[in-house]
């Protein structure tokens, strides 16, 4: 970026904090609201079926618009970008966006979260574009279970092939996300742990969350992270490890025999709002300051309204400095019914 284009916000050292003293360090960018899976906990077919109206191409931010916003966020202190969706790899030429983002100075980490279905084909291009590492979602190795969750008959082996391609392309360390839903896939937790242990791939168990309003979430469906850890520990002894950095969402554990580590993302039973440093940009350019927010701030209108960088940066600064979200800490029997943005819009 040339100095001539630097605005006051560009020169900021990133000391931007919200009303609870939380700095803005991470930005999750959703590049599409579409997906080739229909995970029952995210895009159930009854809601996201044939008649569902996805965003029109013209409504979605272009790569240039995304990269421009990303530069402004980085100038305000963001150090980590995660590209997500919907399914980010269904967005045409997404590697071109990766290359544009990888070129931003001041970024420490650039990654993608994907369902892995197109990874075998795309891993090399992503790596060549400058992607450093990748997170792949896989909810079970048992095909009956996995297919019942992705609801498009997609086999687990093809996701494993994608993971292998990512490792071969140098996208490591690969992290694997498993959403655990009671009575659906929790009986396959140990099989997953056994498979990924010793491979250098960190498996992270995610408590099923009440994101959006489409998935009919009930607290009874949540398997608490403590229970998952206890089950694994009984067979493969574990010990806790401290966080890598402030705001790390996963609580880390390592196998006592040195065969690797796992993580748990316990947003329901052990909320981590107090350390949440994440902003989220939806595919149509809305800024959300919480995964459970009902309202986003329209950045696309600023971009397409011809606003200069300085004005947009000032808007970002004002939104973050007024931020007071802590949904998971306030979660109660009443909160799941509140209107919230769908996960497929902001990508987790």
Ligand X SMILES: C[S@@+](CC[C@H](N)C(=O)[O-])C[C@H]1O[C@@H](n2cnc3c(N)ncnc32)[C@H](O)[C@@H]1O
Q: Give me the 118-157 binding string for ligand SF4, x by CB under 6 A, dash otherwise.
A: -------------------x--------------------
- Neighbouring CB atoms inside 10 A of 204's CB total 21
Instruction: Assess 35 for contact with ligand SF4 (CB under 6 A).
Output: yes
Instruction: Assess 123 for contact with ligand X (CB under 6 A).
Output: no
For residue 118, the minimal CB distance to ligand SF4 (Å) is: 11
Helix (H, G, I), strand (E, B), or coil: what is residue 264? Answer: strand
Tokens of 139: 């909810």
Which of 26, 87, 95, 325 touches ligand SF4 (CB under 6 A)? 87
Instruction: Assess 159 for contact with ligand SF4 (CB under 6 A).
Output: no
Helix (H, G, I), strand (E, B), or coil: what is residue 324? Answer: coil
For residue 95, the minimal CB distance to ligand SF4 (Å) is: 19
Which of 35, 98, 110, 123 touches ligand X (CB under 6 A)? 35
DSSP collapsed to 3 states, 281-317: ECCCCEEECCCCCCCCEEHHHHHHCCCCHHHHHHHHH
For residue 150, the minimal CB distance to ligand SF4 (Å) is: 6
Instruction: Assess 37 for contact with ligand SF4 (CB under 6 A).
Output: yes
277 with 26: CB under 8 angstroms?
A: yes
* Distance, CA of 74 to CA of 72 (rounded, Å): 5
Tokens of 157: 């082996």
Instruction: Assess 166 for contact with ligand X (CB under 6 A).
Output: no
Q: Give me the 309-338 binding string for ligand X, x by CB under 6 A, dash otherwise.
A: ------------------------------
Q: Which bin fits 247, alpha (ψ -120 to 50), beta or left (φ > 0)?
A: left
236 with 193: CB under 8 angstroms?
A: yes
Nearest CA to 67 out of 110, 35, 14 is that of 110
Instruction: Assess 150 for contact with ligand X (CB under 6 A).
Output: no
The binder of 184, among ligand SF4, ligand X, none, by C-beta within 5 to 8 A per type, is none
Q: Give me the 246-285 binding string for ligand SF4, x by CB under 6 A, dash otherwise.
A: ----------------------------------------
Structure-token match 């279905």, residue found: 117
Instruction: Assess 206 for contact with ligand X (CB under 6 A).
Output: yes
> Phi and psi (nearest 5°) for 265?
-115, 100
Tokens of 173: 């360390």
139 with 118: CB under 8 angstroms?
A: no
- Neighbouring CB atoms inside 10 A of 11's CB total 9
Instruction: Assess 184 for contact with ligand X (CB under 6 A).
Output: no
The binder of 146, among ligand X, ligand SF4, none, by C-beta within 5 to 8 A per type, is none
- Neighbouring CB atoms inside 10 A of 220's CB total 7
32's CB contacts (< 8 A; 6+ apart) are 55, 60, 85, 86, 87, 88, 90, 91, 283
Stretch that binds ligand X, among 82-90, 160-168, 240-248, 254-262 (CB under 6 A): 82-90
Instruction: Assess 188 for contact with ligand X (CB under 6 A).
Output: no
Q: By CB under 6 A, name the binding residues for ligand X.
A: 35, 41-42, 84-85, 87, 113-115, 137, 177, 179, 206, 208-209, 211, 215, 343-344, 347-348
Q: By CB under 6 A, name the binding residues for ligand SF4.
A: 35, 37-39, 42-43, 85-87, 115, 137, 343-344
């Amino acid at each position: 970026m040339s100095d001539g284009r630097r605005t006051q916000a560009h020169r900021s050292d990133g000391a931007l904090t919200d009303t609870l003293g939380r700095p803005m360090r991470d930005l999750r960018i959703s590049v599409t609201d579409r997906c080739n899976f229909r995970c029952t906990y995210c895009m159930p077919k009854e809601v996201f079926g044939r008649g569902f109206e996805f965003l029109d191409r013209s409504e979605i931010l272009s790569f240039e618009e995304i990269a421009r916003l990303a530069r402004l966020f980085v100038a305000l202190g963001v150090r980590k970008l995660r590209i997500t969706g919907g399914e980010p790899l269904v967005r045409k030429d997404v590697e071109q966006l990766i290359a544009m983002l990888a070129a931003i100075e001041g970024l420490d980490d650039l990654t993608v979260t994907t369902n892995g279905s197109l990874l075998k084909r795309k891993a090399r291009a992503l790596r060549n574009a400058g992607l450093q590492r990748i997170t792949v979602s896989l909810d079970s190795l048992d095909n009956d279970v996995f297919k019942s969750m992705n609801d498009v008959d997609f086999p687990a082996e093809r996701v494993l092939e994608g993971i292998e391609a990512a490792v071969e392309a140098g996208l490591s360390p690969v992290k694997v996300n498993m959403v655990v839903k009671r009575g659906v896939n929790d009986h396959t937790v140990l099989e997953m742990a056994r498979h990924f242990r010793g491979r250098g791939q960190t498996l992270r168990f995610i408590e099923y969350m009440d994101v959006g309003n489409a998935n009919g979430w009930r607290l009874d469906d949540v398997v608490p992270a403590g229970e998952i850890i206890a089950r694994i520990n009984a067979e493969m002894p574990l010990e806790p490890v401290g966080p890598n950095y402030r705001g790390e969402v996963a609580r880390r554990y390592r196998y006592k025999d040195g065969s690797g580590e796992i993580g748990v993302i316990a947003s329901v039973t052990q909320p981590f709002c107090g350390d949440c440093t994440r902003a989220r940009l939806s595919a149509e350019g809305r800024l959300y300051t919480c995964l459970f927010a009902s309202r986003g701030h329209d950045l696309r209108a600023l971009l397409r309204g011809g606003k200069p960088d300085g004005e947009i940066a000032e808007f970002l600064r004002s939104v973050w400095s007024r931020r007071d979200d802590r949904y998971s800490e306030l979660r109660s029997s009443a909160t799941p019914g509140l209107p919230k943005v769908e996960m497929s819009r902001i990508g987790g």
